[in-house]
Amino acid sequence: MPQKTSIIEIIKQQIQKEDSLPVLSPKAMKIQGEATKNDPDFNVLARMIRLDPTLTSQILKTANSPFYRGLGDVDTIKDAIIRLGQNEMINIIMKVVHQQNFKSNNPLIRSYQSRLWNHSVSCAIGTLWTAKYLSLGELIPKAFIAGLLHDMGKLYLLTALEKILESETAAFKPPPQLIEKILDSLHSVLGYSLLTKWHLPERYRIIARDHHATEYNYSDLLLLIVRLVNAVCKKMEKNDPGADLAGIVSSKEADILGMPEIGVAELEIALEDARTNRPM
């Protein structure tokens, strides 16, 4: 009697297929490539953005939202850069570029994508907040992007799961608990792979790979911040009134970063405020 193929093997086989790869458009890839350079050229970025009506409208909408607390209307990309500053502009660009991959037509996959996107944005905001709180100025331009992209391996897996669920021949109806286990167990290595295929700098790939690792580079402060913020976000998502921050406060990450208990508590408040006030 032939042995049944395991669910993990089905997923791994699907991932090998090119159509399981979350895709950025050539235009988005060029914009991302310029945005993630050590010294991006904002004149070049502005020209690229103007050629994409969707990106232009989303950036202006975000720049004019209450979350960014602008004074008066911003109606040009040049004004948006002046108003927001270069770092904030890059963060908005990266958010808009990557949000396009979180729009599945499958209700089940879309529900997971929605949760993943909310978690990713929260981690992005929290990583940036923490870098500022700890006065790590050299990390501030990279912090939002690192938090935003750390879990992209889960997007890779969800894209593969969607393809399997769409298959007419697949007898594949995994329960939610199994989907969660698949996402948790496979996303780190796939995150590194996906960010490599998207031509992102090594610093972001390492964070995608090592944000749950037992052994990692303790001197990589950006990785430490993402790990710390990820833990706080996960704690908040459980919505358990009985849960506290003690384990996070006493973690190796908090110790190395010199993040005090009051800082972790203030981070949680900042994340709650951001979740309430940020634009969709």
* pLDDT, tens digit, 9 for 90 and up, residues 200-246: 999 999 999 999 999 999 999 999 999 999 999 999 998 876 678 89
Residue 190 is predicted with a pLDDT of 93
Which CA distances in Å does 70 have to 63, 79, 121? 7, 11, 20
Round the average pLDDT of the chain to a whole number and report it.
88
Domain count for the chain: 2
The C-alpha atoms of residue 111 and residue 209 are separated, in whole angstroms, by 24
Classify 167 in phi/psi space as left (phi over 0), alpha (psi -120 to 50) or beta: beta
Q: Work out the pLDDT band at 98, boundaries 50, 70, 90.
A: very high
Contacts 24+ apart (CB under 8 A), 26-34: 27/51, 27/52, 28/55, 28/97, 28/100, 29/198, 29/199, 31/55, 31/93, 31/97, 32/93, 32/94, 32/97, 32/198, 32/199, 32/200, 33/199
Alpha-helical (H) ranges within the chain are: 7-15, 26-35, 42-50, 53-63, 77-84, 86-99, 107-133, 140-149, 152-166, 176-197, 202-210, 221-238, 246-249, 252-257, 261-277
66 and 139 together in one domain: no
148 and 265 together in one domain: yes
74 and 160 together in one domain: no
Residue 132 in this model has a pLDDT that exceeds 60? yes
Q: Is the pTM of this model over 0.85?
A: yes
CATH of the domain at 195: 1.10.3210.10
Residue 134 in this model has a pLDDT that exceeds 70? yes
Residue 280 in this model has a pLDDT that exceeds 50? no
| 8 or 125, greater pLDDT | 125
Instruction: Name which of 17-21, 47-51, 57-61, 88-92 the model is least confident about.
Output: 17-21
The proportion of the chain whose per-residue pLDDT surpasses 70, expressed as a percent, equals 91
Helices (H) and strands (E) in the chain, counts: 15, 0
Residue 199 backbone dihedrals phi, psi, to 5 degrees: 60, 40
Residue 158 in this model has a pLDDT that exceeds 90? yes
71 and 113 together in one domain: no
CB count within 10 Å of CB 258 equals 8
The proportion of the chain whose per-residue pLDDT surpasses 90, expressed as a percent, equals 51
Contact between 123 and 151 under an 8 Å Cβ cutoff? The reply is yes
Residue 48 located in a structural domain? yes
68 and 174 together in one domain: no
Instruction: Name which of 11-20, 23-32, 155-164, 206-215 the model is least confident about.
Output: 11-20
Contact between 7 and 178 under an 8 Å Cβ cutoff? The reply is yes
The structure tokens listed for 271 are 């994340």
79 and 194 together in one domain: no
Residue 1 is predicted with a pLDDT of 37
Residue 225 backbone dihedrals phi, psi, to 5 degrees: -65, -45
Residue 35 located in a structural domain? yes
The C-alpha atoms of residue 211 and residue 230 are separated, in whole angstroms, by 8
Contact between 216 and 222 under an 8 Å Cβ cutoff? The reply is no
The whole domain housing 216 covers 101-280
Residue 2 in this model has a pLDDT that exceeds 50? no
135 and 226 together in one domain: yes
